[in-house]
């Protein structure tokens, strides 16, 4: 009987005991079972994270000796250390000279932040136009935009690559940023949340002499802050984890992003996986930080944003 | 009252769409009838790309693998997401919020990173999955998940399950909040058991969300690429005997490894056709759900 099966058996016995205590009204037994099942699911979700952290800090020699962390009595510089990180940060030899791991982190941060900021700006602008202006061809434009959401990005990659080569943009971040300055679903989201902004408010702004740009920046955008935060989060996550286009468009070592380099490390450090797991651990920190930071932004945005209008 | 189009706000969208969507889309249509050697050289081949795809057993296998994955997403992953949503829905307080956060957390990790992580978790004898299954069921310690053609798809499904089960749960959880409690109570009073109430009252009243989640899961499944690419990096993302080859991996290999952007575009149109059909089905189903 191993510890895992023993735990399962004990938890099951708990359910049976609760059931037998009041067989007519098994409400307590079911409530107990619910938390056991949820706890089990949560453990299954968390176990790979725990394992990732343990493997990143375990020494190469004891990597397979303990499932997660070594027992406290075995805990020393020989079993737990920063060797994996040291080797990760030692740098890769390349034609451009030595490239250090923090270079990929910076590349990913720069590229993702730029795309997130520009996409939020241009998508919200187009969404505002479609939400609050009446003009010829608006219906057709809306239909076209909604229809274009069905086009899979993989269909456009081959012709985009051809175009990028012809324009001489291969191996540049412009090739990754320009095509997604606006995305249809982002425009759609901003349009949906801006439709409910009262026209009287915009007219009042116009009477006060505000420019159209000023109304959009100072009146409309603050009202959709919760949506904006959510969109930024989704955009950041999606682009932080983007692999297909960067792996095709970027060639030189010192321009690569984290998903691309970690996929390469899989082959490079096959026998020494602590190194690329340390890299993976670093790669999931920024999205996690942003997620927890914006969770609060969500709530404060929801409660304060609309009241000001 | 018609105004001038607000060009200041629309111009970026119009420019980006014209240059980086409409123009490439037209080019994708032209490319599909050509064979190319990288972006430089191309030759007109008519329908040969599509004819080749329809007779290529490897593409057939890619299509079959991807369809199996899509089916597993709907038949395994979504019921589990729904189950978790139901378990969480009746809970209260901080534990509920915490569990929701925990179950959602894998979504912060991208497909490539999940592939990297699980390629080690599936290691024979030492991998976490192998050790867990051995301890619980007494099976699987030495299983070569990523080298055994029969186990490659299950491995991809398990990794995707870990990644997405909490994501779809969030949708179901939101939909469950909108279900009319008094209807459920009434059915309970009439003598229906928990399962009957769920099947005949709860599920029908959240059918819009169910249709949406099923269709978006299918659309996402047919574009599966990065997860198997990293997970099966030892076999270039294909798996032993192409057991883990997906349609988009096939496209990636054809267009960017072999350099035939024409064949790649032809595969792209196949993917577009599948997604278009699924989207139409969604619109049809949503109409039916209205009645």
Alpha carbon distance B61, A133 (integer Å) = 50
Q: Does a structural domain hold residue A210?
A: yes
**Same-domain pairing of A300 and A242:** yes
Q: How many domains does chain B have?
A: 1
Q: Cβ–Cβ of B233/A49 closer than 8 Å? A: no
Q: Does a structural domain hold residue B34?
A: no
Q: Does a structural domain hold residue B29?
A: no
Domain termination site, one of A54, A72, A90: A72
**Same-domain pairing of A108 and A38:** no
Alpha carbon distance B172, B87 (integer Å) = 11
Environment class of residue B259 by beta-carbon count within 10 Å: exposed (0-12), middle (13-18) or buried (19+)?
Answer: middle
**Same-domain pairing of A42 and A134:** no
**Same-domain pairing of A9 and A119:** no
Quick one: pLDDT at residue B60? 97
For residue A307, is pLDDT > 50? no
Work out whether the CA dihedral B37, B43, B47, B52 comes out positive or negative.
negative
Whether the Cβ atoms of residue A194 and residue A186 lie closer than 8 Å to each other: no
Which residues in chain A (136-195) have CB-CB distances under 8 A to chain B? 136-138, 141, 148, 150-152, 154-163, 165-166, 178-182, 187
**Same-domain pairing of A111 and A54:** no
Q: Does a structural domain hold residue B139?
A: no
**Same-domain pairing of A165 and A228:** yes
Q: Cβ–Cβ of A49/B131 closer than 8 Å? A: no
Which of chain B's residues have a Cβ under 8 Å away from the Cβ of A38? 84, 87-88, 91, 99
- Across chain A, mean pLDDT equals 90
Domain range for residue A20? Answer: 3-72
Distance from CA of B222 to the nearest CA of A (A): 10
**Same-domain pairing of A130 and A63:** no
CATH number at residue A200: 1.10.3720.10
**Looking at chain B, which residue has its C-alpha nearest residue A263?**
B230
Quick one: pLDDT at residue B207? 87
Environment class of residue A190 by beta-carbon count within 10 Å: exposed (0-12), middle (13-18) or buried (19+)?
Answer: buried
A40 touches chain B (CB under 8 A): no
Q: Does a structural domain hold residue A88?
A: no
Q: Does a structural domain hold residue A218?
A: yes
> Angle B78-89/A27-57 helices, nearest 10 degrees?
120
Quick one: pLDDT at residue B131? 94
- What confidence tens digit (pLDDT) does each residue in A67-122 have? 889 888 888 888 899 999 999 999 888 888 899 999 999 999 999 999 999 999 99
Q: Does a structural domain hold residue B75?
A: yes
**Same-domain pairing of A152 and A221:** yes
Q: Does a structural domain hold residue A83?
A: no
Q: Does a structural domain hold residue A86?
A: no
Q: Cβ–Cβ of A137/B117 closer than 8 Å? A: no
Number of CB pairs < 8 Å for A and B? 232
Q: Which residues contact A239 (CB under 8 A, 6 or more apart)?
A: A111, A112, A115, A116, A180
Q: Does a structural domain hold residue A181?
A: yes
CATH number at residue B161: 1.10.3720.10
Confidence of residue A297 (pLDDT cuts 50, 70, 90): low
Q: Does a structural domain hold residue A94?
A: no
**Same-domain pairing of A295 and A248:** yes
**Same-domain pairing of A108 and A68:** no
Q: Does a structural domain hold residue A140?
A: yes
Q: Does a structural domain hold residue B260?
A: yes
For residue A247, is pLDDT > 60? yes
**Same-domain pairing of A67 and A153:** no
Residue B279 corresponds to which tokens in the numbers above?
Answer: 């989207």
Q: Does a structural domain hold residue B236?
A: yes
Q: Does a structural domain hold residue B134?
A: no
Confidence of residue A299 (pLDDT cuts 50, 70, 90): very low
Ordered per-residue pLDDT tens for chain B, 291 residues: 567 788 899 999 999 999 999 999 999 999 999 999 988 888 999 999 999 999 999 999 999 999 999 999 999 999 999 999 999 987 777 888 889 889 989 999 999 999 999 999 999 999 999 999 999 998 889 999 999 999 999 999 999 999 999 989 988 988 888 888 898 889 989 988 888 999 999 998 888 889 889 999 999 999 999 999 999 999 999 999 999 999 999 999 999 999 999 999 999 999 999 999 999 988 888 888 776
Residue in B2, B16, B276 nearest the CB of A150: B276
Q: Does a structural domain hold residue B115?
A: no
Domain range for residue B221? Answer: 58-107+153-290
Which of chain B's residues have a Cβ under 8 Å away from the Cβ of A151? 21, 25, 272
Which residues in chain A (193-252) have CB-CB distances under 8 A to chain B? 212-213, 216, 237, 240-244, 248
**Same-domain pairing of A60 and A129:** no
Q: How many domains does chain A have?
A: 2
- What confidence tens digit (pLDDT) does each residue in A168-212 have? 999 999 999 999 999 999 999 899 889 989 999 999 999 999 998
Residue A150 corresponds to which tokens in the numbers above?
Answer: 């069905």
CB-side exposure of B179: number of CA atoms within 13 Å? 28
Quick one: pLDDT at residue A106? 97
Domain termination site, one of A56, A72, A88: A72
């Amino acid at each position: 009987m191993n510890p895992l099966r023993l735990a399962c058996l004990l938890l099951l016995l708990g359910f049976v005991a609760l059931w037998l205590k009041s067989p007519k009204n098994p409400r307590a037994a079911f409530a107990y079972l619910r938390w056991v099942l949820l706890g089990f699911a949560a453990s299954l979700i968390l176990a790979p994270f725990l394992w990732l952290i343990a493997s990143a800090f375990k020494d190469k020699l004891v990597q397979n000796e303990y499932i997660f962390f070594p027992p406290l009595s075995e805990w020393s510089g020989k079993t737990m250390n920063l060797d994996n990180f040291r080797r990760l940060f030692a740098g890769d030899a390349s034609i451009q000279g030595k490239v250090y791991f923090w270079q990929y982190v910076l590349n990913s941060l720069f590229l993702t932040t730029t795309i997130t900021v520009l996409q939020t700006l241009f998508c919200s602008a187009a969404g505002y136009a479609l939400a609050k202006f009446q003009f010829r061809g608006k219906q057709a434009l809306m239909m076209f935009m909604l229809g274009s959401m069905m086009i899979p990005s993989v269909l456009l990659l081959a012709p985009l690559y051809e175009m990028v080569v012809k324009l001489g943009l291969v191996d540049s971040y412009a090739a990754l940023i320009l095509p997604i300055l606006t995305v249809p679903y982002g425009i759609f989201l901003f349009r949906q949340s801006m439709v409910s902004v009262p026209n009287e408010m915009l007219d009042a702004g116009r009477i006060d002499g505000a420019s159209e740009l000023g109304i959009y920046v100072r009146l409309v955008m603050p009202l959709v802050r919760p949506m904006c935060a959510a969109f930024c989060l989704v955009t950041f996550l999606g682009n932080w984890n983007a692999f297909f286009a960067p792996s095709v468009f970027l060639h030189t070592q010192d321009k690569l992003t984290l998903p691309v380099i970690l996929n390469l490390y899989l082959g490079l450090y096959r026998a020494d996986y602590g190194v690329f797991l340390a890299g993976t651990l670093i790669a999931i920190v920024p999205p996690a930080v942003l997620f927890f930071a914006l969770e609060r932004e969500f709530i404060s945005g929801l409660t304060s944003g609309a009241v000001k209008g | 009252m018609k105004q001038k189009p607000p060009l200041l706000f629309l111009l970026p969208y119009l420019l980006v769409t014209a240059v980086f969507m409409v123009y490439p889309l037209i080019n994708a249509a032209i490319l599909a009838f050509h064979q190319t050697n990288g972006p430089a050289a191309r030759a007109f081949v008519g329908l040969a790309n599509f004819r080749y795809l329809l007779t290529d057993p490897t593409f057939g296998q890619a299509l079959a693998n991807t369809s199996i994955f899509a089916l597993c997403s709907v038949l395994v992953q979504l019921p589990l997401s729904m189950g978790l949503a139901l378990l969480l829905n009746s809970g209260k307080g901080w534990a509920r919020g915490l569990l929701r956060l925990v179950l959602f957390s894998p979504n912060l990790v991208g497909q490539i990173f999940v592939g990297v992580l699980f390629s080690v978790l599936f290691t024979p004898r030492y991998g976490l999955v192998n050790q867990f299954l051995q301890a619980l069921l007494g099976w699987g310690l030495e299983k070569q998940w990523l080298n055994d053609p029969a186990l490659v798809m299950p491995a991809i499904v398990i990794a995707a399950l870990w990644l997405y089960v909490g994501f779809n749960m969030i949708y179901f959880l939101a939909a469950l909040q909108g279900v009319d409690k008094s209807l459920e109570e009434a059915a309970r009073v009439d003598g229906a058991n928990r399962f009957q109430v769920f099947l005949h009252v709860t599920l029908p009243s959240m059918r819009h969300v169910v249709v949406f989640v099923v269709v978006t899961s299918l659309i996402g499944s047919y574009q599966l690429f990065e997860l198997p690419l990293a997970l099966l990096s030892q076999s270039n993302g294909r798996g032993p005997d192409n057991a883990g080859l997906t349609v988009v991996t096939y496209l990636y290999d054809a267009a960017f490894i072999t350099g035939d952007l024409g064949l790649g575009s032809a595969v792209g149109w196949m993917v577009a056709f599948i997604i278009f059909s699924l989207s139409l089905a969604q619109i049809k189903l949503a109409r039916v759900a209205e009645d």
